[in-house]
């Protein structure tokens, strides 16, 4: 939580005295209700602040949805390989939200909103992540129950219940709620299959648009950012 006028000024939207005047003229709303005072506490993650009827990005945050191609590492710097940061506009403090393996493709969020990223990655919040996997052999009906019960991927705890849908041509959709290292590959390995191709299709309510080409990105719309915030409240 922070003071409305402080965030307003920090985000470079205007001075503290400007926001004070706007509040007096009832031009500022917080979640639809007129702001009451410059020192009104707002939740910078979940509150929606409007000035003169337009939502303002108090946070100065950016949110890119990248269709990560294979061959790029999910890091801000790497000595050997290109990083996903080369595929989005340059910006201070941007970082990928979690990691996809170098050979994994699909949806990767890149932002400078540390708080939201932290929540999306928190094991406590269990944000769904759905992957399309192509395997060396078809998944079996038994695997559905095994993944539902949790499998041993070699680091102590069983995996949390995960949902497997078997598709033709050795393909499968897997929805997990955690983000352990190489989790999808290790889960299939634990039931005797190897992942030969992996693509993330969604993270929480945000889906990879089918028309977004590999290596291309788009900026999340305000309502998509709000849906992500709601998913991790």
Which chain residues interact with ligand URA by CB under 6 A? 100-101, 104, 182-185, 198
Least distance CB 195 / ligand URA (angstroms): 7
Comparison of 88 and 100: residue with beta carbon closer to ligand URA: 100
In the chain, how many H helices and how many E strands? 6, 15
Closest CA to 191 of 133, 139, 132: 139
CA-to-CA distance for 219 and 197, rounded, in angstroms? 26
Which positions are annotated as active-site residues?
A: 101
Edge-to-edge strand ranges of the sheet holding 33-34 = 33-34, 28-30, 49-51, 54-55
Q: Residue 19: exposed, middle, or buried by beta-carbon count in 10 A (0-12, 13-18, 19+)?
A: buried
Cα 115 to chain centroid distance, Å, stands at 11
Comparison of 32 and 154: residue with beta carbon closer to ligand URA: 154
Least distance CB 166 / ligand URA (angstroms): 18
Least distance CB 102 / ligand URA (angstroms): 8
Comparison of 58 and 100: residue with beta carbon closer to ligand URA: 100
Least distance CB 105 / ligand URA (angstroms): 9
CA-to-CA distance for 84 and 226, rounded, in angstroms? 24
Comparison of 8 and 217: residue with beta carbon closer to ligand URA: 217
């Amino acid at each position: 939580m922070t003071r409305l006028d402080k965030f307003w000024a920090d985000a470079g939207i205007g001075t503290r005295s400007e926001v004070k005047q706007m509040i007096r003229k009832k031009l500022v709303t917080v979640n639809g209700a007129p702001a009451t005072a410059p020192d009104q506490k707002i939740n910078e993650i979940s509150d929606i602040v409007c000035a003169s009827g337009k939502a303002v990005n108090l946070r100065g945050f950016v949110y890119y949805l990248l269709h990560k191609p294979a061959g790029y590492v999910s890091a801000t710097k790497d000595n050997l390989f290109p990083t996903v940061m080369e595929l989005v506009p340059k910006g201070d403090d941007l970082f990928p939200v979690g990691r996809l393996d170098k050979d994994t493709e699909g949806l990767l969020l890149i932002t400078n909103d540390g708080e939201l990223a932290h929540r999306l990655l928190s094991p406590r919040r269990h944000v769904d992540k759905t992957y399309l996997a192509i395997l060396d052999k078809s998944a079996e009906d038994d695997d559905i129950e095994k993944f539902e019960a949790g499998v041993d991927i070699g680091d102590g705890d069983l995996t949390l219940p995960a949902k497997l849908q078997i598709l033709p041509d050795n393909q499968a959709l897997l929805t997990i709620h955690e983000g352990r290292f190489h989790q999808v590959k290790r889960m299939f390995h634990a039931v005797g299959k190897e992942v030969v191709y992996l693509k993330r299709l969604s993270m929480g309510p945000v889906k990879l648009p089918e028309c977004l080409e590999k290596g291309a990105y788009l900026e999340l719309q305000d309502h998509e950012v709000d849906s992500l915030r709601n998913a991790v409240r």
